Amino acid sequence: MNTPSSSVPETASQAIAPLAISPTRLLYWSVRRELWENRSVYIAPLCAAGVVIFSTFIGSFHSPERRRAALLLDPALQRAAIERPYDMVAVMLLFLAFIVGVFYCLDALHGERRDRTILFWKSLPVSDLTTVLSKASIPLVVLPLLTFAITIGVQLVMLLMSNAALVMSGMSATTSAQLPFLQRSATLLYGLIVMALWHAPIYGWLLLVSGWARRAAFLWAFLPLIAIQIFEKIAFGTSYFAALLNPHFIGWLSGAFVPAGRGHFTMKPLTALDPGAALWTPDLWLGLAVAALLIAAAVRLRRYREPL
């Protein structure tokens, strides 16, 4: 009597074999997963944009008075007065993107260890390198692009509201000569690229601390930096460490923005920007090398780190 064979046919075994997924596709879906799990990455900038638009709507009723005051100035100061609200919004959203990136990185690896979801994610065919790179891409790529899109949208709405208020009061609307929108958009994109490159070692350090610290990741991230500066100042009377960190925190602003009076910033004209001076300095490339080492250390740390 013949017994049924328990062996799986060769064609069936080939059919159920797992499909190979390209590393690029794995990285893409890992980034999408980060956005699904961390909605504050885009909700916080959108909330800030809503506040700005509502404030602009209230302030648009005073646009005619402000325009009449600006018309009394010479052409250079007149243009600066028209551009100032748009510059302030751009700089505010840039700083908000940095703050969101800091808190995201501090929780990126620590959060999955705290809620023990790291056990589930490690069971998937996604390498630690892909996971950490997807987390690093949020502050370095996704947030700058999102900030650029939101800033342009907010500035367009501000321009429409301001022009509507001016036209209703019988005044001429803002022209492209007074507010060169395309040139300012290119300048903003340049500033975001510079910001992301200079902030890379900061985000790398925060990811490393997030994967290492058992608790109080924020304190472990910033207290050593503050302690080193205090020790150097007291022991040697120097501030070399602070000077080394400053360009990576706020020093990059001098490459894309210049002060325009107390409490205000303005964008440089596109023709006045010097990409070589901002992108080919040794400090920037040293920072990028440090960022690569920190991210590599975070990858190795995640490989052997256990849940909390």
- The vertex-152 CA angle with 150 and 156, nearest 5°, equals 115
What is this structure's pTM? Answer: 0.84
Residue 83 maps to a domain: yes
For residue 208, what pLDDT is reported?
95
Residue 4 maps to a domain: no
Sign of the alpha-carbon dihedral angle for 215, 219, 222, 226 = negative
For residue 17, what pLDDT is reported?
46
Least confident window among 61-75, 77-91, 144-158: 61-75
- Within 10 A of 57 (CB to CB), how many other CB atoms are there? 13
* Pairwise CA distance, residues 88 & 143, whole Å: 19
Q: How large is the average pLDDT for residues 261-274? A: 55
Least confident window among 133-137, 264-268, 271-275: 264-268
Domain total of the chain: 1
Residue 6 maps to a domain: no
Which 3 state secondary structure label does DSSP give 175?
coil
Residue 11 maps to a domain: no
Kindly indicate the confidence band of residue 13, based on its pLDDT and cuts at 50, 70 and 90. Answer: very low
Residue 7 maps to a domain: no
* pLDDT higher at 260 or 285: 285
* Pairwise CA distance, residues 154 & 132, whole Å: 32
For residue 79, what pLDDT is reported?
73
Kindly indicate the confidence band of residue 249, based on its pLDDT and cuts at 50, 70 and 90. Answer: confident
Burial of residue 291, with CB atoms counted within 10 A of its CB: 0-12 exposed, 13-18 middle, 19 or more buried: buried
Residue 8 maps to a domain: no
* Pairwise CA distance, residues 140 & 136, whole Å: 6
How does the average pLDDT of the chain come out, rounded?
82
| pLDDT, tens only, 113-123 | 888 888 888 88
Residue 113 maps to a domain: yes
| pLDDT, tens only, 68-81 | 776 667 777 777 77
Residue 16 maps to a domain: no
Contacts 24+ apart (CB under 8 A), 145-152: 145/192, 146/41, 146/42, 146/45, 146/97, 147/45, 147/93, 147/94, 147/96, 147/97, 147/192, 148/188, 148/189, 148/192, 150/45, 150/46, 150/49, 150/93, 151/89, 151/90, 151/93, 151/188, 152/185, 152/188
Which domain range does residue 30 map to?
22-304
